Amino acid sequence: MKLNGAAVATVAVVTLLSFLAGTSNAQGYDFFYLVMQWPRAVCNQPRSNCRAAVPQTFTIHGMWPQTNSGGSPQNCPGSLRDVRSSGRVDRTTLGAMDRQWPNLKRGGRDPNSQFWTHEWNKHGTCSRMQPQDYFRRVVDRAASVDLLRLLRSNRIQPDNRLYRQADIEAALNVYDPVVKCNDVRSGGRSYKQIHEIRFCVQRDGNRVVSCGRRTQFRSCGNGDIRFSR
Ligand code: 5GP
């Protein structure tokens, strides 16, 4: 088949656009997802391998660079062997991380640091920040959203009841985050439950902002959602 000049140009433009859409902008990412998880929903899964004591509050999963086109750069240069012993994060910040960002799962000698190291290597390295700046921002942004209180003040609480998606959306409408569900079995039935809430944080990591469109529910189906106790 012979392509004329216009066809070649069209193919080149389409290829370039799909390349740009699939990767990222010149800065590598446009915003972060600050991912908060509901420990009960992580740990009521088969083979979850969770520690015995599960916090009764939302904890941090991570802060992930994202592009506007849906990309998620990962595993950039700058990995660490162990965040806590690296000397790259000060003690005050490590203390806040121990409180707000526990590893819910069983691990080796220092399970929390093992989880942070996984998150740094996979996501944090693509933030173009030094570990100290990145981790400080994660804990500060997470602390700035009092998520459980926000839900409670809208009468949404972890009591194993089912909540309407519209009510969850209304409670979180300052942020328009992404609500992610997983499945749980109880009393011979399967329910969708609140698993994670993903907030949008601006590129410099300095402010939680609205995600700019209506709250998205992911893997939640169309029905009511359980908030597990
Ligand atoms: P990502 O690797 O993209 O940061 O997140 C997904 C993974 O994180 C999943 O495999 C999930 O099981 C894991 N995860 C979620 N919460 C925890 C936790 O508290 N500790 C550990 N070690 N992994 C977790």
**Does residue 119 line the site of ligand 1, with CB under 6 A?**
yes
Judged by DSSP in three states, 77 sits in: coil
**Average pLDDT value for residue range 10-16:** 44
Eight-state DSSP code of residue 224: -
Distance CA 78, CA 99 (A): 25
pLDDT confidence tier of residue 4, bands split at 50, 70 and 90: low
Task: Give the pLDDT score at 14.
Answer: 40
Confidence band of 13 (pLDDT split at 50, 70, 90): very low
- Token pair in block for residue 86: 């690296």
Task: Output the average pLDDT for the chain.
Answer: 91
In this prediction, residues 36-65 reach a mean pLDDT of 97
Q: Say yes or no: CB of residue 51 within 6 Å of ligand 1.
A: no
What's the Cα-to-Cα distance from 64 to each of 35, 74, 99, 123, 162, rounded to whole Å? 8, 9, 20, 5, 29
Q: Averaged over 95-100, what is the pLDDT?
A: 98
Residue 6 has pLDDT above 70, yes or no: no
In this structure, the strands spanning 216-218 and 178-186 are parallel
pLDDT, one tens digit per residue, over 128-147 is 999 999 999 999 999 999 99
C-alpha 8 to ligand 1 mean position (Å): 45
One-character DSSP codes across 34-64:
EEEE-HHHHHTSTT--B-S---SS-EEEEEE
Whether 115 is in the pocket of ligand 1, judged by its Cβ within 6 Å, is yes
pLDDT surpasses 50 at 59: yes
- Residue 4 alpha carbon to ligand 1 centre in Å: 50
Per the model's pLDDT, the better-predicted residue between 90 and 8 turns out to be 90
Whether pLDDT at 23 is above 60: no
For 49, 86, 90, 201, the CA distances from 111, given in Å and listed in that order, are 12, 15, 18, 26
Question: What pLDDT band is residue 5 in, cutting at 50, 70 and 90?
Answer: low
Q: How far is the CA of 61 from the centre of ligand 1 (A)?
A: 7
* Token digits of residue 156: 């949404």
Residue 19 has pLDDT above 50, yes or no: no
Contacts of 167 (CB under 8 A, 6+ apart): 154, 156
Q: Is 105 in the pocket of ligand 1 (CB under 6 A)?
A: yes
- Which pLDDT value is given to residue 2? 47
Beta bridge partners of 198: 35, 178
9-24 mean pLDDT: 44
pLDDT-based confidence at residue 107 (cuts at 50, 70, 90): confident
CA distance readout (Å), 92 to 57, 99, 113, 135, 219: 21, 11, 15, 11, 37
pTM of the predicted model, to two decimals? 0.89
Question: Comparing C-alpha atoms, which of 171, 167, 156, 150 is closest to residue 223?
Answer: 167
Q: Supply 107's token pair.
A: 């691990």
For residue range 155-187, what is the model confidence (pLDDT) as tens digits? 999 999 999 999 999 999 999 999 999 999 999
Average pLDDT of the segment spanning 17-34: 67
What confidence tier does 11 reach under pLDDT thresholds 50, 70, 90? very low
Residue nearest to atom 8 of ligand 1 (CA): 61
